[in-house]
Amino acid sequence: MTSSFSTVDLTPDEYERLTQLRSRKNQLLDEIQILQQELSKTNSRLETLSPVSNRLPKAKIQKLAISAFNEDYKKGVQSLIDACLVKNSAEDFARFLLKNNDLKKSAVGDFLGENEQFNLDVLRHFVCLQNFEGLMLVQAMRNFLSSFRLPGEAQKIDRIMERFAIRFCEQNPSIFDHSDTCYTLCFATIMLNTSLYNPSVKERMSFDDFLNITNSLNVARDLIIQIYNSIREEPFKFPKDHQIDNHLNYNSSRLFRTAEKQGWLHKQGSNHWTWNQRWFVLSNKCLYYFEFPNSREPKGIIPLEGICVRMVGYKDADSFSSSKKPHTFELYSPNSEIVKAHKTNSEGRLIEGGGQHTAYRMAAPGHEEMHSWISALQRSINKDNAIEEVLERRRAKSVNNGNFGGSSK
């Protein structure tokens, strides 16, 4: 005689544990399906790399090579060389990165920041191909920072800006006593820009604050005043990739592979009454949400630039909606503006500016998971903090060497 299993016999703790195990099982099955789809796509792509691809028009091959670089700059280098877009030389590659407008600026920045010898050689040529002679430091920085997108990793920023400072001092030898002085002032200027224009920063840097972080440098006060006024009047314009095009043409399998965090959350509906379970993926400073983990297209995309995240407590929640959903947090505009998002229309196509919310609310399955999401989102939103990290490390190194703002060229 066989005994049947009934959930009625379980204690509340056992039932909750069973529910969690079932949920985890479904999640693993979804992930297995994603991996199977990735394998299928990879096999299909390998087939396109057969001799048949030699019959493709040259323009098509070159377009595919650029797309490969934009998707994965580490692997895309050889594709660019094979497509005869560049020669296998650092100088030619640097010129291509500087002149080609179809490349993602973020991919260019990440490539330039790598510590491999070829990348370092390309970076040196990339900087030397630009002319800063006779320019004020702020204008030279504006020109330089418009040619790529500064990466978020501290060590990459360090290498790129150090090379810029060396080049600027070579072309303008009478302004600074040492390239380290120029380097440090560049970072202080970027910090100033972040402080004045990043909506996540609550306290704006005053002129006295800027003076305090630069007072150890052997720099004329007039230059400090000029830099502060220039940034206050006009922020740096960091280049952006064509966001909506990138989202429409993104590789969903790579998105899942490079995700900073992913998992199930409940998203509050437009009418504030309903909550829909969605699979969320945090990647590339955007929050994507899908109907299922194996969905090909996202239901929506929320870019995180200029956005803040916070926990929503019961006392802060709408009495008719969020108060009934624990572990809720929200993405919102600190200026009470519409959060710029992309949503699918009735035809299933992503459209730019499809969302009309001043905030997006999500509910996590538990307290720890909610805080995990908030932390991950804050890290993505505040990637500019890498700049401050580099500046502090360089300042400490210079002080230890006894030459902070030193006197030798």
Catalytic residues: 153
- Count of Cβ atoms closer than 10 Å to residue 10 Cβ: 14
Phi-psi bin for 348: left (phi > 0), alpha (psi -120 to 50), beta?
left
Give me 235's structure tokens. 């922020």
Query: What torsion do the CA atoms of 332, 337, 343, 349 make, to the nearest 10 degrees?
Result: -150
Which residue is listed with tokens 């959350």? 265
DSSP string, 279-290: EEEEETTEEEEE
- What is the dihedral angle through the alpha carbons of 154, 156, 157, 163, rounded to the nearest 10 degrees? 140
The answer to whether the beta carbons of residues 374 and 311 sit under 8 Å apart is yes
Contact criterion met (CB below 8 Å) for 339 and 302: yes
Asked if 105 and 241 count as a contact pair (C-beta separation under 8 A), the reply is: yes
The span from the CA of 386 to the CA of 213, in Å, is 17
Q: Which of 274, 289, 377, 280 has its CA nearest to residue 332?
A: 377
Token duo for residue 155: 């060590």
Tell me how far apart the alpha carbons of residues 201 and 194 are, in angstroms, rounded to a whole number: 8
Helix, strand or coil, per DSSP, at residue 36: helix
Which spans in 113-220 are helix H?
Answer: 117-128, 137-145, 154-171, 179-197, 207-214
Give the max Cα distance, the chain.
95
